[in-house]
Chain A
Amino acid sequence: MDWLAAVFPLAQSGFGNLAAYLAAHVLLCLLPAFFIAGAMTALIPKQAITRFLGRNTHKRVSYPAAAAAGSVLAVCSCTIVPIFAGIYRKGAGIGPAITFLFFAPAANILALVYTGGIIGPDLAFARFFLSLSFGIGIGLLMAMIFRSEDEAHDRATDALFAAQDANGISRAALAFLGVWVVLLLAGTLKIGVLTDAHFDLIAPLSGVDSLQFRLDALVPHNAANGEEGVSVHGLALIALLATIGVAAWRGMERIHEGFNRWTWTALGLIAATLLVASLAVQAVPEGLRIGFTGRFFGVFAALGLLGAIGSRLSTDELRDWLWESWRFVKQIFPLLVVGVFLVGVIRVLIRPEWIQALAGENTVLANLAGVAFGVFMYFPTLVEVPIAKMFLDLGMHRGPLLAYLMADPELSLQSILIVSAIIGKLRTWTYVGWVAIFSTVAGLVYGAWVDGASLALVGAYLASFLGLLAIGLWWAERRNHVPAGAPAILEK
């Protein structure tokens, strides 16, 4: 029976972690995020962005456009690979292609929302801005290092990027997307107007307080190491989530054959769940105290608007939107569930002292450790976020944490294989090296800022890094005897 005694706390921690995540984090953050990602994929005409990625587009347009494409269009490798190959082979060349490749996994809508919801908006913003500037930086570097080979592509045609049907996004679709973003913000922002309950109601249910007592005994909760526990409210939400799962499976899986009753049931349940999740519920001796928060009214208004705008979208648009959203859920959610469970298990095994000793402070070594872990461990899309949360709870500094978060999604075995199949081994390993360097610097700079370094000092760090880089490049340029006038990249 010894092994049972050893395994039980692990399983308990795993399930506890999973239950806490499903109850607390998934609903108001991830559910709208899936629908937003689905809407972006289905409703934004891809040509609206990719036509800026043609061969003849100026750098000032093509690099930002590549980043925009990464953030808006690409959530899974299914979209990333063809666009990457297209930009590289027939379009703007290796620079923008690399920018796209770097930016897509770190700053697509799902990754950003999830990072913001679980770890904090500060890290989500840092991830966004540093990925953007470094993505463009690495793109420019790669374009420069491999310029001669890139020029061979220049005779290729630009037909792929000629605006085939350059229709923009329809106004109804844009409004639809906008209201989803409002719903996401109303559901996740932590400001008083939204979180305060404007009036209370007590539902006279007997026994909820003893149920809460038993839940507390069953699911460990300890704020010190990040274990959150589950409330009665959370339990109800997990049950709703399971029902949605069943209804969605029957309603969304065959959606190309038309909408059925299950489709509407699933949508109704999702609306109900979002509303329930936005209430403030507390078990008290008299029953269940239900607080109607500002969040609740915000979500309610947004859902009403979505219904009104949704009826103006065409059946094709609605179907594509639901299908893409469902596909993301099917692809990502199971991995997330397994990942979160395993994080709960591992959390029991890792001693906080190890993490604190290795990466508790913002040093070069700690940032390198974060990057090395990110490079050598491979986690499926979004699972890096709960793992990062675990490290944070165990005492990792936010700087090395950012270094890890930058390196992990960009450099996985999968992406390295894809890239080397398309651009070759030498270029791929050059790219990998740059990502490692840039991630370490990103962690150091952000960590210094978190530690209270003045903006000037942080700026000085960044400037000296970029200065060293520029000198290195200038030197490489000289050695290669590139004809004058060519290094347009260094002008800015």
Chain B
Amino acid sequence: MLTIKILGPGCANCRRVEEVARKAATDLGVDAEFVKVTDFNDILAYNVMTTPGLVINEKLVCSGRVPAPNSVAGWINEARAA
């Protein structure tokens, strides 16, 4: 079970990151819980200043851009192997 967090105030890019991450998780057949983090204090706690941010199992994997689905798939696999 993975925890995937989307950091961001809910702008277009944050929604897109969530879409991409959900698709990657579904394609891999991974069971994941999605959490949206919108409070700036919580976002800053991950040392992120450029949203959207993507956090998999409490590790920040990407910030400031929308990643490609296959990069997200790579990070999910890394997190599962760890």
User: What residues of chain A have their CB less than 8 Å away from a CB belonging to chain B?
Assistant: 42, 46, 50, 73, 76-79, 81-83, 85-86, 89-90, 159-160, 256-257, 316, 319-320, 323, 327, 330-331, 422
Contacts and interface: CB of A to CB of B under 8 A. Distances in A.
30 contacts: A46-B49, A50-B49, A50-B50, A73-B50, A76-B11, A77-B11, A81-B9, A82-B8, A82-B40, A82-B43, A82-B48, A82-B50, A83-B50, A85-B40, A85-B43, A89-B41, A89-B44, A159-B47, A160-B47, A256-B20, A256-B66, A256-B68, A257-B69, A316-B68, A319-B68, A320-B66, A323-B66, A330-B12, A331-B12, A422-B40
Nearest to A81: B9
Given A85-B40, A86-B49, A78 B66 contact: no
A81 B13 contact: no
Interface residues of B, number: 21
Contacts of B13: 78, 327
A82 B49 contact: yes
A81 B9 CA distance: 9
Contacts of A256: 16, 20, 66, 68-69
Nearest to A315: B68
A457 B51 CA distance: 46
Given A82-B49, A160-B44, 19 more contacts: A46-B64, A50-B49, A73-B50, A76-B11, A78-B8, A82-B43, A82-B51, A83-B50, A85-B43, A89-B41, A89-B44, A256-B16, A256-B66, A257-B69, A320-B65, A320-B66, A327-B13, A330-B12, A422-B40
Contacts of A330: 12
Query: Would you list the 5 A-B pairs with minimal beta carbon distance, nearest first?
Result: A86-B49, A78-B11, A85-B40, A160-B47, A82-B51
Contacts of B50: 46, 50, 73, 79, 82-83
Nearest to A45: B64
A73 B51 CA distance: 12
Contacts of A79: 50-51
A159 B47 CA distance: 7
Contacts of A73: 50
Interface string B7-48: 011011100100010000000000000000000110110011
Nearest to B19: A256
A42 B65 CA distance: 7
Nearest to B71: A316
Contacts of B11: 76-78
A85 B44 contact: yes
B40 A90 contact: no
A319 B48 CA distance: 22
A121 B11 CA distance: 32
A78 B9 CA distance: 7
Interface string B54-69: 0000000000111011
A85 B41 CA distance: 9
A86 B7 CA distance: 14
B30 to A, nearest CB: 19
A90 to B, nearest CB: 6
Contacts of A82: 8-9, 40, 43, 48-51
Contacts of B12: 78, 327, 330-331
Contacts of A323: 66
